[in-house]
Structure 1
Amino acid sequence: MRTLTRDEARRIIVRAQLLDADRPGDVVEVAEQLGYIKIDPTATIAPCEHTVAWSRIGWSYEPGQLQKAVEIDRLLFEFDGTFRPMSILPLMRPSMRRHPRHERSRQWLEANTRFRADVLARLAGEGPLLASQIPDTAQVARDTESGWYGSNQVPQMLEMLARRGEIAVLRREGRHRVWDLAERVWPTDLPEYDDAEAERLLHERRLQSAGIAKQKSPWTPVGEAGEPISVEGSRAKWRVDPEALAALDDDSADGRVAFLNPYDSLLFDRPRLEEVFEFTYVLEQFKPKAQRVYGYFAHPILIGDRFVGMLDAEVDKARENLRVTAVHEFLPFEPEEHEMVRAEIAELGEWLGMPVVGSA
């Protein structure tokens, strides 16, 4: 069994996440490789789904490309707070049919059989509809202590039916989702897989997007996909994507600078981030201001295969500029690194169509 150095492991991960110099061509290619693009409205610079795409594609990415891929071309679909490639939907259908798995959720759904039928009938007869256009006819209210939902049961029923694959998001009006029956949104000629085959293929897709992952990671479950590998300094059992391993010695693509949205998929597996990149990432969005070190929604800075600092920047909508509050350096930058980061900030400003002000 081969042992990877940390440098090699990082290079595999960065390439798998499309953050090397060999940039992808469009947002569909990004979604196909990453497996999903997170949706989040926090937009100190731009919403997550757009900064994820820009950090991979670069200046040629325009937000309208994502909307077209989802709402017109139907190459991507929205599910559970993410945009995903349509090619992965058949692999998700078996688990959708088993939803919900938690007993309390099953009891709530069973107690609201008539409510569920009302929602489906209204969409069938009148859809597509916003949640606000669907009346709440629930027989039993669900616990709202989590704070995610109010007393209106419609959003919860819509989420439940979406996870079951009965309804789907057709499009968005601003940040609001427009719902319809899944059979009218998704292709009807998708292949069918049994539970075991779907799970195996999902594990392979996850490993493809991760490059390497711990075999028993709850963050990136990959099962027996790929090949066993060990990583320098780690006692854990790892799996590696065979194609990524075969391409390891290809040095044709150099590293580059990338600013990562705090909800970027590369940052999701925190244990791997610490063990391989030696980077402990803490999102300060929910910390009191006095306890923040780098900023409310600072973006980690990746140069090549190492995290070197944090970008604290924000779009000032009133003044129509990109204000850079600080570039925090974990270790003092070399002159070349300073220049690379400044150039990337300038590229970000050009992509946003705004001048850059502040210190960089």
Structure 2
Amino acid sequence: MDKISLSKAKARDFLISYQGLKPSNQFSGKQGIIDFIHRVGCIQFDPLNVVGFNQELVLQSRIYNFCTHMLQELLYKERVLLDGWDKNMSIYLTEDWPCFSRFRALKREQLKNVKEVQAIRHDVISIIKEKGPVSSKDLSYNQIVDWPWAPTRLSRAALESLYFAGDLIIYNKDRTRKMYDVTDRNLPEQLLLKEDPNKTFEQYVDWYVMRRIGAIGLLWDRSGDAWLGIRGIKSSDRKMSLQRLIEAGKLIEVTIHGISNKFYMRKTDESFLTKHSGGQSYASIIAPLDNLIWDRKLIKELFEFEYIWEVYKPVNERSYGYYVLPILHNDRFIARFEPVKDKKKKVLMIKNWWWEPGFTVSEQLKFDLKTCFERFIRYLGVEQILADSNLIEEKNLGWLVDEK
């Protein structure tokens, strides 16, 4: 049984190297997107777009010269990537389709109990086969039905049900509007006929546990957001799987000085421990649902940084702001800020900025943040960073932004 012990600093360095956030091991271009998602399994999708969607924010911090069209082409032209359920709604490699057979089978069973959808299932598929891709607005099933998020039109419920069951895929998206098409018109027959490689439930659990550990790089056996979205697997199943995988030599048990919980990493990722921990200083803007911070309790323990995404909190309950992004500098989170993009004026507005306690604004930090934000505004397609004069003075940001 492989066991290793790490300091907190070494564990942080491992995670950042593994996640491709260091300039020395970042990815490049469309192939870089594929390579990164191959490493982590999936990236999380979210429909909110303040300075880009979550999936775009994840990629801009790792893919050199990332442009949003790269992801769109991989998803909706080349179909190398797929919208699907994994860590909640996610994006993963199309080649992983057979591995989610159990999820689709579960959804097909559940669909039998939704009588309203079941009654129109074949009609919806026939309409799409005849007319081509549709959105819920293109269908006239206006009956309101109960739905997990909230009561909705039968048109939407039917399309989403057939999508989760595997009959449909998301053909394209116009912002958050989903266009659906029949699956067998878009994915290769050879892939659709491929059997689930996980023949038994134990194999399925082991595959998913390995996948979730690989999504972050280093994970503990504690309930948290990192384990969300795995349907049908209990914490007891996970615990037994971890033991099986350790005994099989596929996982390494990791202890981190100062943290009582055991951690686990994939044996195949051990090489990231030996990567040079020094190198070029840098800063990165991190997505709110970034793989690195899926487990907020882990981040608090390891990085001494507490982050809660407050978009769904009432205004009077927020500690910071509506849409706030963390900023990583080398191996520490040093600040967070609330951005807004003005498309017409091509401006990034900084509504607010919060430095973490104990950090000195050195010349190196200024240089790294300037470089980081230059890259960020290129990604956004804006030309200037602005903030109120009071904020600039209060937060010592004159070297980074201009007055509004």
TM-score normalised per structure 1:
0.87
**What pairs up with 1:219-258 in 2 under 5 angstroms?**
219-221=225-227, 223-224=241-242, 225=245, 226-251=251-276, 254=279, 256-258=282-284
Give how far 1:271 is off.
Answer: 2.1
Report if aligned partners of 1:220, 1:269 keep a CA contact under 8 Å in 2: yes
Structure 2 residue 368 is the aligned partner of structure 1 residue 340: yes
**What pairs up with 1:46-85 in 2 under 5 angstroms?**
46-58=52-64, 60-80=65-85, 81-85=89-93
Give how far 1:110 is off.
Answer: 4.9
* Structure 2 residue ranges without an equivalent (≥5): 228-237, 246-250, 398-404
For residue 296 of structure 2, the aligned residue among 239, 258, 270 is 270
Question: Aligned partners of 2:351, 2:111: CA distance in 1, in Å?
Answer: 48
Structure 2 residue 188 is the aligned partner of structure 1 residue 160: no
Q: 1:236-258, CA deviations, whole angstroms, 9 ceiling, x for partnerless residues?
A: 23211223333312206645311
Question: Aligned partners of 1:280, 1:11: CA distance in 2, in Å?
Answer: 18
Read off the aligned partner of 1:98 and give its amino acid letter.
L
Give how far 1:32 is off.
Answer: 2.0
Deviates more, 1:298-307 or 1:201-210: 201-210
Report if aligned partners of 1:96, 1:163 keep a CA contact under 8 Å in 2: yes
Report if aligned partners of 2:18, 2:272 keep a CA contact under 8 Å in 1: no
Give how far 1:54 is off.
Answer: 0.7
Q: 1:10-61, CA deviations, whole angstroms, 9 ceiling, x for partnerless residues?
A: 2222223222221112322232223223333323222222221111113x11
**What pairs up with 1:283-294 in 2 under 5 angstroms?**
283-294=309-320
Q: Secondary structure at the match of 2:225?
A: coil
Question: Aligned partners of 1:173, 1:247: CA distance in 2, in Å?
Answer: 38
Q: 1:174-210, CA deviations, whole angstroms, 9 ceiling, x for partnerless residues?
A: 4311111122222222242224434433332322221
Structure 2 residue 206 is the aligned partner of structure 1 residue 206: no
**CA RMSD of the aligned region, Å?**
2.5
Give how far 1:310 is off.
Answer: 0.4
Structure 2 residue 104 is the aligned partner of structure 1 residue 96: yes
Question: Aligned partners of 1:230, 1:128: CA distance in 2, in Å?
Answer: 51
Deviates more, 1:66-75 or 1:292-301: 292-301
Q: What is the match of residue 17 of structure 2?
A: 15
Question: Aligned partners of 2:182, 2:33: CA distance in 1, in Å?
Answer: 26
**What pairs up with 1:115-130 in 2 under 5 angstroms?**
115-130=120-135
Q: Secondary structure at the match of 2:209?
A: helix
TM-score normalised per structure 2:
0.79
Q: 1:41-97, CA deviations, whole angstroms, 9 ceiling, x for partnerless residues?
A: 323222222221111113x11111111101111110112432211132221122221
Percent of residue pairs bearing the same amino acid type? 20
Give how far 1:266 is off.
Answer: 1.9
Give how far 1:329 is off.
Answer: 1.1
CA pair 151-90 structure 1, distance change in 2 beyond 3 A: closer
Read off the aligned partner of 1:249 and give its amino acid letter.
T
Structure 2 residue 377 is the aligned partner of structure 1 residue 349: yes
Q: Secondary structure at the match of 2:38?
A: helix
CA pair 135-274 structure 1, distance change in 2 beyond 3 A: same
CA pair 325-333 structure 1, distance change in 2 beyond 3 A: farther
Q: What is the match of residue 45 of structure 1?
A: 51
Runs of 4+ residues deviating >4 angstroms: none
For residue 135 of structure 1, the aligned residue among 125, 131, 140 is 140
Q: What is the match of residue 286 of structure 2?
A: 260
* Structure 1 residue ranges without an equivalent (≥5): none
CA pair 239-131 structure 1, distance change in 2 beyond 3 A: same
Question: Aligned partners of 2:306, 2:39: CA distance in 1, in Å?
Answer: 25
CA pair 55-72 structure 1, distance change in 2 beyond 3 A: same
Report if aligned partners of 2:61, 2:284 keep a CA contact under 8 Å in 1: yes
Equivalent pairs, count: 352
Q: What is the match of residue 113 of structure 1?
A: 118
Question: Aligned partners of 1:110, 1:195: CA distance in 2, in Å?
Answer: 31
More helix by share: 2
Read off the aligned partner of 2:187 and give its amino acid letter.
W
Q: Secondary structure at the match of 2:219?
A: strand
